[in-house]
Chains A and B, each alone.
Chain A
Amino acid sequence: MLHAQPDKEKWGAKQISYELPITHQHDYSVDKSTFGMTILSFMRNIYYFLISDLDGDNCPFYPSCSAFFIQSVKETNIFKGGLMFADRFTRDLNLFKDINHYPIIKSGKFFDPPYNYTLNSQKIKF
Chain B
Amino acid sequence: MTRLIIIHLIHRKLNFNTVLLLLIKLLKSINRKNNLPVILILECILIITGNNHAQQSLDYKPPIKAKKQNNLKNDTNLVKQKDLYSPKNRLKFGNYLYSESDYLRASGEYKEYLKNFDNDTVRFKYSLCFYRMGLFSEAADNFKSLFFDPSLSEEARLLFYESHFFYDDYKTYHELVEKENYMPVVFKKEVDRLNSAAYFLDNSFLPDTTNLLRPFDDSVHFKLADYYYRKKHTASKSLTTAVLLSIVIPGAGKFYTGEVGDGVTSLIATVVSAYLAASNFHNDHNFRGWLFTGLTAFFYAGNIYGSATSAQIYNARIRFNLQSDIKLYFEQRNYFLPGLGF
Task: Show the binding face of A for B, using Cβ within 8 Å.
Answer: 83-91, 93-97, 99-100, 116-117, 119, 121, 124, 126
B38 CB–A CB distance under 8 Å: no
Contact A121 B315 (CB under 8 A): yes
Interface of chain B, main secondary structure: helix
B301 to A83, Cβ gap below 8 A?
yes
What 0/1 readout, one digit per residue, does chain B (268-308) give for beta carbons within 8 Å of chain A? 01000000000000000000000000000011011101101
Complex contact B309–A87 (CB within 8 A): yes
8 closest Cβ pairs, A-B complex: A86-B302, A87-B306, A83-B305, A96-B261, A94-B265, A124-B316, A87-B302, A117-B309
Residues B262 and A94 in contact, CB atoms below 8 Å apart: yes
User: CB-CB contacts of B130-174 with A at 8 A, as 1s and 0s?
Assistant: 000000000000000000000000000000000000000000000
In angstroms, Cα B215 to Cα A87, docked, is 48
**For chain B residues 72-88, which have a beta carbon within 8 Å of chain A?**
none
**Bound: A87/B305 CA distance, A:** 7
Q: Taking A85-B302, A93-B269 as given, write out 17 further A-B residue pairs in contact, using a Cβ cutoff of 8 Å, ordered by the A residue number.
A: A84-B309, A86-B306, A90-B262, A90-B299, A90-B306, A94-B261, A94-B264, A96-B261, A97-B261, A97-B262, A99-B261, A100-B262, A116-B309, A119-B308, A119-B309, A119-B312, A126-B316
Q: Which residues of B contact A124 (CB under 8 A)?
A: 312-313, 316
Query: Binding site of A, secondary structure by majority: helix, strand, loop or mixed?
Result: helix
- Tell whether, in the assembled complex, residue A89 and residue B302 are in contact, meaning their CB atoms are under 8 Å apart: yes
Specify which chain A residues have a CB less than 8 angstroms from the CB of B317 in the assembled complex. Answer: 126
Bound complex: CA A91 to CA B299 (Å): 11
Alpha-carbon distance between A51 and B249 when the two chains are bound, in angstroms: 34
Residues of A within 8 A of B316 (CB): 121, 124, 126
Residues on B with beta carbons closer than 8 Å to the beta carbon of A119: 308-309, 312
Name the distance in Å between A102's Cβ and chain B's nearest Cβ: 11
CB distance from A91 to the nearest CB of B (A): 5
User: Does A100 contact B265, Cβ atoms closer than 8 Å?
Assistant: no
Instruction: Check B313–A116 contact: CB distance below 8 A.
Output: yes
Cβ contact of A126, chosen from B264, B301, B309, B320, cutoff 8 A: B320
List B contacts of A90 (CB < 8 A).
262, 265-266, 269, 299, 302-303, 306
9 A–B pairs (Cβ distance < 8 Å), ordered by A: A84-B305, A84-B309, A86-B306, A88-B302, A93-B265, A94-B264, A96-B261, A119-B312, A121-B315
Q: Flag whether B120 is at the interface (Cβ < 8 A).
A: no
The reply to whether the CB of B259 lies closer than 8 angstroms to some CB of chain A is: yes
Chain A residues, CB < 8 A from B309? 84, 87, 116-117, 119
Q: How far is the CB of B72 from chain A (nearest CB, A)?
A: 48
Please, how many angstroms separate the alpha-carbon atoms of A71 and B204 in the complex? 31
Q: How far is the CB of B303 from chain A (nearest CB, A)?
A: 6
B249 to chain A, nearest CB (A): 15
In the complex, residue of chain B having the shortest beta-carbon distance to the beta carbon of A98: B261
Cα–Cα distance between A82 and B157 once the two chains are bound (Å): 55
Residues of A within 8 A of B301 (CB): 83, 86
- Nearest-neighbour CB distance to chain B for A97, whole angstroms, equals 6
B302: A residues at CB distance < 8 A: 83, 85-90
- Please name all residues of chain A whose beta carbon is closer than 8 Å to the beta carbon of B262 when the two chains form the complex: 90-91, 94, 97, 100
Most buried by B among A93, A94, A100: A94
Residue-by-residue, is B310-338 near A (CB-CB < 8 Å gives 1, otherwise 0)?
A: 00110111001000000000000000000
